[in-house]
Amino acid sequence: MAKQTVRDIEVENKRVLVRVDFNVPRDKSTGEITDDARIIAAVPTIQYLVDERAKVILCSHLGRPKGEVRDDMRLALVGERLGKIMGKPVRCTRDCIGTEVEAAVGEMQPGSIILLENLRFHPEEEKNDPAFAESLARLADVYVNDAFGTAHRAHASTVGVTKYLPAVSGFLMEKELEFLGNTLADPERPFAMIVGGAKVADKINLLENILEKVNVLIIGGGMANTFLKSMGYDVGSSKVEDDQLSFGRSLVTKAARKGVRLMLPVDGVAASEFSENAECKTVPLGGVPSGWQLLDIGPESIKAFSDALKDCKTIVWNGPMGVFEYASFAQGTEALASLIAELEATTIIGGGDTAAAVKRMGLASKMTHVSTGGGASLEFLEGKTLPGVAALLDKETS
């Protein structure tokens, strides 16, 4: 069911607690922000609240401090970057709950912004502790969740606070639910799903759910090795999940029975070792030299996959085709990304490594939608209910 958004509630002169996802990548040596895309993605909701003269209280986590205060994971630099982007001051607090924070909120004027300190400095956040959630809720009159990337976690700031405050979605959350939800519910066909990544075990639920919806299912990445071995091909020393071989065979059988075109690599780039500078060569199926491993799809696979995708009207992609972090094994991922970016189709990139690859190539703006949630988008595509979404108020239907 559709969720209420920030447009559906009165926010003028109200204290609005906004859960954002400011878990941005940073340089390991300097701590400087290396990619502010997540900050920029939250700006439309924040700007709307500022324009409506709300008192905007932002909360987020950063990194994995594991319930301890870590100076290298403070949000001050994020607040500084947000202030520059928005052209207005953002006050940062030294904690996210407590009397000092309550006093700072009490001093807020309509249209002002406060960024609370890292939520995960408190172990109670990830435990969805009711007392911690109530302390957060005490700061506000209304709650807005604009952090799709954490919507699959039942934490105090995603679920707990909704027990105490009216809860609606922000514009980024609305966009994610609209693209992912509408695509799965009623895609324009032919509908293709590209699934990659390292492990079959991580994608079982996704594969089983999506098989009921797609016309074309393309499987690449390290997980393809398990499927290929399940069909009797020698994949050398490639990483294989032997406990998933029977699943691989059954999925191939189910796809055939349902009339889904399931495609696997027909060749690959094999390497002498798992290394950026390893000796490598293109090999056909079954032609992996002893002791070598497949680290990318090959040119014939790229051609076959591309030919299958050219006529598709909806394409969802989750997981790279190879070890794209290494230039020698990035051709498969980059070739498909370049193709998809030029198609007249609805193209959705499911967050995580795939989103990182597309952004690195400068193609994000050419995709219909690039999800901000890796784990959240995966669970959504699996057909799971996300706790942070379920906790929001439903739109009223006439």
Beta bridge partners of 268: 283, 297
Active site residue 38: yes
Active site residue 332: no
Which residue is catalytic, options 38, 153, 175, 213?
38
Which residue is catalytic, options 170, 352, 373, 374?
352
Three-state SS string over 110-161 comes to CCCEEECCCHHHCHHHHCCCHHHHHHHHCCCCEEEECCHHHCCCCCCCCCHH
How far, in Å, CA of 10 to CA of 16, rounded? 10
Q: How far apart are the first and last CA of the chain?
A: 13
How far, in Å, CA of 193 to CA of 354, rounded? 13
How far, in Å, CA of 24 to CA of 80, rounded? 13
Which residue is catalytic, options 63, 83, 287, 375?
375
- Conformational region of residue 319, where left means phi above 0, alpha means psi within -120 to 50, and beta covers everything else: left
How far, in Å, CA of 385 to CA of 394, rounded? 14
How far, in Å, CA of 293 to CA of 268, rounded? 9
Active site residue 79: no
* Dihedral over Cα of 111, 117, 118, 121: its sign: negative
Active site residue 384: no
Which residue is catalytic, options 94, 199, 281, 360?
199
Consecutive H or E run containing 99: helix 99-106
Active-site positions read: 38, 199, 352, 375
